[in-house]
Structure 1
């Protein structure tokens, strides 16, 4: 884990370097802007935008994908200002030959990054909707193909390059913001002759959607907002710079095994951070621990609480295993000339714990006082994460924002159109925060996706498909669908056993005789089916080993999904194939070595054929165990069926 991952999460190093005055320029060498009407009101800008004459574009007559540009003012409050080009892709409805399109979808995938490269993903999310709906995707000004802002040598992890970039581009950067992009979008819509559109915004795309709704309500029919970025009371986009240990408590509360752990998640986690601060462990840097805390990875959610408890009890390996998998994980590159456009939006649209009109030095002082007072990173300190408040915790410290450009103007009356908002438990903003903020739309409906993360309609597994179905249904008729989606498919683990004696046997009361077990075996037969307490303990250990390996193939994993091999927790090796998991003397419980193959069906059914040996037993007790269960369910333990050395059994689920 390096600083690039932290930048992607909204925490980056900055420096107190005041930008110098320089001549405005872009890579395309456009004429420097005439920066006028900086204080123009949103109402004035909207009136000017409505009066701006937009010529019909030839793409309006297209029957297949048509890419084009529209010329717009840099400053929409001054129609005589410099012209810039805004690029778009127009995809007429594929079924248009059989009749007119029933509507148009405008989509923005977020970032703030170029939108056009994400067009295939947008089309996949909308699917069959595009048979009857046109699709419009616009690269926001300053990004991608829309008069991009560029600064050679720009690195978001080097504050001096940010200040130099702002100086290079000059005051015109104040117009590369969502309020101006909203007018651009409407200009493209009018040039194509499209009627009121349905806006599909994902992540930062929801910022553009809100800005457009506030300024061009006549152009909107409805909006679907996925993973919403909310605004501050002043109308600027919020970039939460905070730790979320509360999520560990949220996950733990739903698990009986986790609730049985001593201390409680909050206190345990604070103790762990303090321990690692006092006694650094190179295998568990605090920056990596913060990634484990986020719960966006099912393996982290399943094991973080138990691993933290184990570490404090002198068993570091479970936590080290979680941290180790983060090493070498790819991080989004955060350097290159094109990141200037990202900075313009993030800094121009954003609300931060300092005054927009303050100098970089004043901003740093305000930022430092905020962290001392509020401690948003608790139980971490900035120093724990390699951040120095004196150098800045936020790279926008060095990006000037002289123009008043809120995403939502104060007291803006948002249109009473249908708005469906989907948000997950593990997203940047909490479901409660998003639901409260979206009340600004008179007809907004918020739908919580339990255990959902970010970019829900792009997700894998049943949850992703469910949200895509919801999106398509809403776009089609602007009604809130009845179906509800969820990604909760695991329960947090309890203690990691350090010996076979610490493993709780499968309770006799849970056991039934399996098919062919004989006429005398019945429900609750327990030892009578041939499984005494010792065998039931081994059975529980073997299932725990198999479940631990299968958890690495949870369909919602991102980091663990890249694994091809991983050592067993207590020894041996696990290899991951296409629908198979091979265990080579893999040990989850010390002394219980498991070998064999687990097969995962597309529907989540797992079958395992395993050989087991026990250390410490003369000759090593050998067993043959067949297992079948439904993986990825929110159960303490799913129902199991199979055989133990040929004896058939069925074990009822434990909720």
Structure 2
């Protein structure tokens, strides 16, 4: 049973159907409810479901049932849910239920379980036995409804994030009369049979989406996806220890804005004999956070993933038949193209899909085919770079008669929990919608860069800045200074994951770049041969960048000359080149933006 927050009541083990003590709480109350293992058989084994009830701070006008996804325990994410909802909770109660089998709700546990070791998955399924088939979204939805009834809540709005959107669909299908609205962020969509789709597929097409938005990237030869396929084939034939295939498959993930900005240009450069840009991107991959997939608590995750999921094999097939169907799918459909499983160190015959060895004998689609979902207001938000494309989500959510889909350009997963302007914008939309159940007229976007064009290798590859009063050479030096500064600042994009962890990085052609709170320090950093840039770039909370730099430039055999350059620009905007101002050796200049 979850422990109560200090100074708040705790309700223990109440049976579904009875009024729960937490119904009368005036502050957070953590409680449990006894429910049947199988809601279709009231006489079945009883299990315990844990929940938290947070009454509105200033008088309730409604209730929000929230689930953060996973499928993982929900109660630990209450602070994050509260942060997303913000002032909405002044007048809305919040209900969070740990889904059965997870966290504090009769957790399923398998000592020694490792999702990367298929034998431990099979052993776990054997340990849990037939009862594991009832730890699925359809049953969890009935649990949530039982808690709603025990608290005396008439109707509620559902806020689902990621897997929480699948719970929302399961709940809406089974208890439509209790729903007033739903906000779905990063939606899990279902197959024609009503089971959740878990697509394992390459998404190199997203490189095309990013490149098409950039004049400089479009000027590169071929299409982005074809260039990437050519790169994969080249590295398969000529392995590069500094660009392992597994790292390459991460670099093509444009959800990381620096990858999106540079991947196509870096691939083009590599194929043209310049490996430095791609190697620099690949070197950052090990710093990406990785979620552990080992521990007894992952049994609950498996129960949902396998019980709720649709896969490239039949649910009622034996493990051997499933394996054969899975191998045929990989052989014929090639979902990871241009990669092969072997490229990425994956073994189709051993451990590529968790659920091959997990029995799914029960018919339990989260969204039953033909279900009539309520015509309540439903707001669905989805990003370009999520697992499911905006088009796929928009089409799938037509099952809600009152659904409105809102695309977030360049957005990733869990949009309302994200940083930057896009995260703040989606949170504003979330709060507005859950207050009055009307889709607000907001346009949220995470598109704050343009993809790079060809990487310059020397000063002569740079186009001189269009500045009056300076020589061609000086305008090229100015171009080198700005390109080097902009390249360094790009690694502090507010949506960055891997690059946000960097403390230092080598300059592309030499020198060093150090990252500090609110500033970037260049120490003889070279983006192009022949120009070394030193100095400091400050970054304001508004995204404005200011730089005071010394640029030492060499032209062939001529003696090096050092220039003092100051720059000011808006660092994170979707423009080919932002408006730029500053001084060059004391001479002021301004450069108009280029969209």
TM-score normalised by the chain length of structure 2: 0.96
* Pairing 1:556–2:515 present: no
Tell me the equivalent position of 1:632.
572
The aligned counterpart of 1:355 is 314
Contact kept, 8 Å, 1:103 with 1:195, in 2: the verdict is no
1:614 aligns with 2:577: no
Note if contact 1:364-1:392 (Cα within 8 Å) is conserved in structure 2. no
Q: Distance in 2 between matches of 1:583 and 1:87?
A: 53
How many angstroms does 1:330 deviate by? 2.7
1:286 to 225, 238, 245: 245
Q: Is 2:527 aligned against 1:588?
A: yes
> Secondary structure, in 3 states, of the residue corresponding to 1:184?
helix
Counterpart among 479, 485, 500 of residue 540 in structure 1 = 479
**Are residues 1:185 and 2:144 paired?**
yes
Compute the displacement of 1:218 (Å).
1.5
Answer yes or no: is the 8 Å Cα contact 1:245–1:266 preserved in 2: yes
Secondary structure, counterpart of 1:194 in structure 2: coil
- Aligned to 2:93, the other structure's residue is in SS state strand
On the 8 A contact 1:506/1:540 being kept in 2, the answer is yes
- Deviation, 1:619, is 4.0
Task: Give the SS at the match of 1:179.
Answer: helix
For structure 1, the residue ranges without an aligned partner over 5 or more in a row are 1-51, 512-525
Three-state SS of the structure 2 residue aligned to 1:552 is helix
Work out whether residues 227 and 427 of structure 1, in 8 Å CA contact, stay in contact via their aligned partners in 2. yes
SS state of the match for residue 625, structure 1?
A: strand
Corresponding position of 1:60 = 23
**Residue in 2 that maps onto 1:654:** 594
CA deviation profile, 1:603-640 (whole Å, cap 9, x unmatched): 00000000010235644210000000001000000000
Q: How does 1:30-179 map to 2 (within 5 A)?
A: 54-96=17-59, 101-179=60-138
Is this contact kept in 1: 2:522–2:533, CA < 8 A? yes
Question: What is the alpha-carbon distance in structure 2 between the residues aligned to residue 537 and residue 641 of structure 1?
Answer: 15
SS of 1:70's partner is strand
Trace 1:461-540 onto structure 2 (pairs within 5 A).
461-507=420-466, 511=467, 526=468, 529=469, 531-540=470-479
Aligned length: 580
Q: 2:273 aligns with which of 291, 304, 314?
A: 314
TM superposition shift of 1:329? 2.9
Determine which structure has greater relative contact order: mean sequence separation of CA pairs < 8 Å that are 6+ residues apart, divided by chain length. 1
Query: RMSD value over aligned CA atoms?
Result: 1.0
Shift of 1:263: 2.2
- What residue in structure 1 maps to residue 563 of structure 2? 623
How far apart in 2 are the matches of 1:476 and 1:555?
28
Partners of 2:507 and 2:191 in 1: CA distance: 47
- Report the more deviating stretch, 169-178 or 386-395: 386-395
Residues 246-395 of structure 1 mapped to structure 2, 5 A cutoff: 246-395=205-354
**SS of match in other structure, 2:563:** strand
